[in-house]
Structure 1
Amino acid sequence: MCTVTFLPLKNNGFILTSNRDETPLRATFPPKKYQEDGVKLVFPKDKLAGGTWIGTSSNNRLVCVLNGAFKKHNRKESYKKSRGIIAKDILKASNCNAYIKNLDLDGIEPFTMVIVDWNNNNLNLLELVWDENTKHFNSLKNEPKIWSSATLYSETSKETRQHWFKTWVSENNFTTSTILNFHHSEIGDKEQSILMKRPKVETVSITSIKKEDQKIEMLYKDIIRNLIHKTSI
């Protein structure tokens, strides 16, 4: 939810990995297969809001959510809809671009969504940022990339993490095990490291989704309980 990396693989494959930085008191269900509105979904579920921060669908799509847009915002007492529910709506949409173009986000808390869509034998890496005033929807190059949540990490911290990731990319092969090592790393200050820990917020889980040819696998690690769930999609 708060630290995300994308790695391209050959033949339109990829590995996307997300660290969820949250209060350990917030209950979560591990990944499970669901069917909603005729669409097959796989995602870990947030018990409080019923949505998700990362998931895939039979529409050949992945959506991953980070809190905040470009900079830290002042949180309101309430919002119209959970960002995790919007993530599910995008997973279920038949046409991703058209759905986002018409998506009304007034009254929604700022967010960043990383979207991977692999329809028509193409792999499209997309980014949707809502800053509470404007939708910023862009297509990105299929190259290694890291995102850090604006609500938890300053611009200086983001730049430091970009440097760590760039170094990692130059020294490692792109596999699930190697990128998981990066997402478990405790480089530098513990409050700013990839595997983060602060008094009230810490990395509670790591989810990694790999697409290779027609095979898709989701690995979910509950950091708090030290449990691992693997799901083939």
Structure 2
Amino acid sequence: MCTVTFVPTEEGFIFTSNRDVSYQRPYAELPKIHMEGHLKVLMPIDPMGSGSWIGLSPYFHAVCLLNGGFVNHKSNPPYRHSRGLVVRDLLRHQDLPKFSSEYNFHGIEPFTLIAIQDKTLYEMVWTGKQLYIKNLPNHQSYIWSSATLYDANIRQKRIDWFQDWLANYPHDLASLRGFHENAGEGNPRNNVMMDWAEMEVGTVSTTTILKENGAHFMHYKDWKTQRSAMVKFESDLVIE
């Protein structure tokens, strides 16, 4: 699932995720503050598995998970627990490299995880057998598309659409949300807001984490129910 973009701005960044899943999946809860141990964490919750695909905490400006690693894989359930729990576990950890060395990833389905901690942009890929971590320059823009839904050709097309947007449109929240809603070439299977009607799979929500002038905001839109939310994340959320 998922198409994710990261765009740096003069005031911070815009980090956006289209969530692409089965239409039969239960509706996610609207994002709100949750207690995770001694921390308050902002995220939506998926009732299946009790995990999340996107969130932020006092330790992380943003964490987002896409299904699949570098290439598509054959799903082989049962798995030890939901990939969404990796997001929740990471959000309350103080350090991604230490987390990655201590966490037990075995028995979890492959995923790609993007995280922003301090000034570092991480890409972490779990193939089901091996973990790869890469630090990416945070002054550049990126797009990721889930390998479980999109082959290499379609992922490259999406990179091309994103590069065109970067070159021709303002790098602000409204414009980027427009990209996540409208980019493509008229084929609903491959558009950034996708719809595989025959398989009842499509984009069910769009979530943006916006950092500007030291403040963080989460903008959420559920396309199936038309519910929406905008939550400001305060910086002093560590509970002693």
| TM-score under structure 1 length normalisation | 0.95
1:74 and 2:65 matched: no
| SS of match in other structure, 2:163 | helix
**Is 1:89 the equivalent of 2:89?**
yes
Q: Does residue 116 in structure 1 map to residue 116 in structure 2?
A: yes
Deviation at 1:231, TM superposition (A): 0.5
Aligned mates of 1:116, 1:68 — CA distance in 2: 20
Do structure 1's residue 217 and structure 2's residue 213 form an aligned pair?
no
Give me the whole-angstrom Cα distance separating, in 1, the residues matched to 2:183 and 2:36.
Answer: 38
Match of 1:141 in 2: 137
Aligned residue for 1:129?
125
Instruction: Classify the secondary structure of the residue corresponding to 2:177.
Output: helix
Alignment partner of 1:183 is 2:176: no
For 1:207 and 1:53, the matched residues in 2 are separated by 10
> Does residue 171 of structure 2 align to residue 156 of structure 1?
no
Q: CA deviation at 1:30?
A: 0.9
User: Using the alignment, how far apart are the partners of 2:213 and 2:133 within structure 1?
Assistant: 27
Between 142-151 and 55-64, report the one with greater CA deviation.
Answer: 55-64
Q: Structure 1 pair 175/186, CA: closer, same or farther in 2 (3 Å)? A: closer
Measured against aligned partners, the alpha-carbon deviations of 1:189-211 in whole angstroms (never above 9, x if no partner) come to 11000010012100000000101
Query: Which residue of 1 is the match for residue 171 of structure 2?
Result: 174
- Structure-2 residue corresponding to 1:49: 49
Q: What is the rounded CA distance, in whole Å, between the counterparts of 2:86 and 2:128 in structure 1?
A: 15
Instruction: Report the residue type matching 1:19 in the other structure.
Output: N
Query: Normalising by structure 2, what TM-score?
Result: 0.92
**Shift in Å at residue 213 of structure 1?**
2.5
Match of 1:192 in 2: 190
Cα separation, 1, equivalents of 2:153 and 2:228: 33
How far has the Cα of 1:36 moved from its partner? 1.3
SS of alignment partner, residue 87 of structure 2: helix
Contact 2:122–2:133 (Cα < 8 Å) also in 1? yes
Do the aligned partners of 1:221 and 1:229 also contact (CA within 8 Å) in 2?
yes
The letter for the 2-side match of 1:132 is G
Any conservation in 2 of the 1:110–1:132 contact (CA below 8 Å)? Answer: yes
Distance apart, 1:14 and its partner CA: 0.8
Check whether the contact 1:93–1:99 (CA below 8 A) recurs between aligned residues: yes
SS at match of 2:153: helix
Amino acid in the other structure paired with 1:194: V
RMSD: 1.1
Q: Does the 8 Å contact 1:81/1:107 carry over to 2?
A: yes
Amino acid at match of 2:134: N
Q: Which letter maps to 2:90?
A: I
Amino acid across the alignment from 1:169: L
Deviation at 1:186, TM superposition (A): 4.9
1:96 and 1:52 map into 2 onto residues whose CA distance is 17
